[in-house]
Amino acid sequence: MKLFSDFGKGFANCFRAFSPLFEKNLWPFLFYPLFIWIGMWVLSIYGLISLADYIDSLIEPYLNPDSATDTALMLWLKPKLSGVFGFLLKWTLHIILWFVGSIFIKYFLLIVLSPLFALLSEITDEKLSGKKFAFSLKQLLKDILRGVAISIRNLLFELIISFGLWLVALFIPPVIFITFPLGVIIGWYFIGFSIMDYNCERYKYGLSKSIQFIRQHKGYAIGIGCVYSIFMSLPTIAGDAIGIMFGPTLAVIAATMSFLKINETLSPTSQPS
């Protein structure tokens, strides 16, 4: 299937991106995301854990059999709710908040670093294709605004879809085993979409043309978003630092490599119009 084939290509390109990263002297771009992340990490992690614990403390009395009302129905229900269901509800809540928090963090990073990623994508294109893009402050500002707008658009779409999935999981906790992986894949797609769009803007694709192009090659977007998310989810503080340095940078380079490769295989008449 084309989707799985493109996913594999996008995924692999992220690791092939190590070569131009160092051979083409793009490695200084590794350090800019790290500086942004340091300020975000403490606030976001502490805040989300505190919020989850607070909400859990509000729910817990209703699941405690000792606080049951005098009605026979509640006396019968609450011991059951405080068992397996209560446990699943508690951890579902923590997972939901972690998931939503991770969505905001990754998009906040894309928005804040949009000028850098637009520049990295252009420099990568020049070094790989040999093309030269004349510097234009006006065009750079357009690229930045386009990147911010696309990131906000994708953030809203992902939040709406995720809200629907997690709303179901909140009322039926066991279905989190379905909604969680589905939500993760959707997140990969929208992240990959945001990163691939830097190339579409540089080649003067309008928004509708860009959406059509990336939808036709959504496997690439999912693969790139997957590797980005894997790096962003590395455990330990050292893993976080490595992930934040390599994840976005490799993803932007890989998106440019993928875009150029796709355009090589497309005839002029088969490109989105």
Cα-based torsion angle of the residue sequence 238, 7, 179, 158 in order, rounded to the nearest 10 degrees: 80
Q: Is 86 inside a domain boundary?
A: no
What the block records as the tokens of 240 is 């976080």
The range of the structural domain enclosing residue 253 comes to: 2-51+95-263
The reported pLDDT for the residue numbered 273 is 43
Residue type for position 223: G
Q: For residue 208, what are the contacts with CB-CB under 8 A and spacing of at least 6? A: none
Q: Is 26 inside a domain boundary?
A: yes
Domain count, the chain: 1
Q: Is 246 inside a domain boundary?
A: yes
Q: Please state the pTM of the whole predicted model.
A: 0.73
Q: Is 124 inside a domain boundary?
A: yes
Q: Is 72 inside a domain boundary?
A: no
The reported pLDDT for the residue numbered 120 is 92
The list of the chain residues with pLDDT below 50 reads 68-70, 269-273
Would you call 203 helix, strand, or coil by DSSP?
coil
The reported pLDDT for the residue numbered 102 is 67
The reported pLDDT for the residue numbered 115 is 82
The reported pLDDT for the residue numbered 55 is 64
Q: Is 217 inside a domain boundary?
A: yes
- What value does the mean pLDDT of the chain take? 80
List the helix and strand counts (H, then E) for the chain.
11, 0
The reported pLDDT for the residue numbered 136 is 75
Q: Is 139 inside a domain boundary?
A: yes
Q: Is 85 inside a domain boundary?
A: no
